[in-house]
Amino acid sequence: MINKKVDLTGEVCPYTFVKSKLAIEKMKKGEVLEIVLDYKEAVENVPESMENHGHKVEEVEKTGNNKWKVIIKK
């Protein structure tokens, strides 16, 4: 189950992570965040940084032409 979704299409690094972090900060432990990205570098960077901050990367999936979703569990 997804508890929160943030659409970060159009955003580039480092704001893809900055905004993902702001979103997950307001969530409770165990809740799940979906991040939508269209910036290729962020598809690697955001999950990596999320892991460094102690969150669990559940899924990284290409959902379309230049579109990805990243699922993170707090």
- List residues with catalytic annotation: 13
Nearer to another protein (CB atom), residue 4 or residue 71? 4
Nearer to another protein (CB atom), residue 53 or residue 73? 53
Among 19, 31, 45, 73, binds another protein (CB under 8 A): 19
Amino acid (one-letter) located at 19: K
- The separation between the first and the last C-alpha atoms of the chain, rounded to the nearest angstrom, is 13
Distance CA 31, CA 24 (A): 9
Among 18, 56, 58, 59, binds another protein (CB under 8 A): 18
28-47 binders of another protein (CB under 8 A): none
Neighbours of 27 (CB within 10 A): 16
